[in-house]
Amino acid sequence: MFDFSKVFVLQYVHMKNKIAHNYNFQVLYEQDEDGLYVAKVPALPGCHTQGKTIEEAIEEAEDRIKEAIGVYMD
């Protein structure tokens, strides 16, 4: 179960047809039993990842967000 007190808001700008689309995504994270940090983006179903550090997990989440937005916008 994710601890909602551990939240990071990520702002992402996607350019399509020379128009900027701004998005803010809530990234929830927690440390699992193996010591890895799991990051989940509730607004994007299936968008979750992990990393050895919080920073790495958030960077990975940003990459997953970019991939998901690219799919939704194309």
Which domains are seen in the chain, by residue range? 7-73 (3.30.160)
State residue 5's pLDDT score: 47
Which residue is listed with tokens 């989440």? 61
Q: Which two tokens stand for residue 43?
A: 């607004």
Q: Which of 3-7, 22-26, 54-58, 61-65 shows the lowest mean pLDDT across its residues?
A: 3-7
Task: Quote the pLDDT of residue 52.
Answer: 96
CB-CB contact of 7 with 27 (8 Å): yes
CA pair distance 40, 14, nearest whole angstrom: 20
pLDDT at 35 over 90: yes
Using CA atoms, how far apart are residues 13 and 3, in angstroms rounded to an integer? 27
For the chain, the average pLDDT equals 79
Asked if the model's pLDDT at residue 15 lies above 80, the reply is no
Contact 63, 69 (CB under 8 A): no
pLDDT of 74 reads: 53
pLDDT for the residue 4: 47
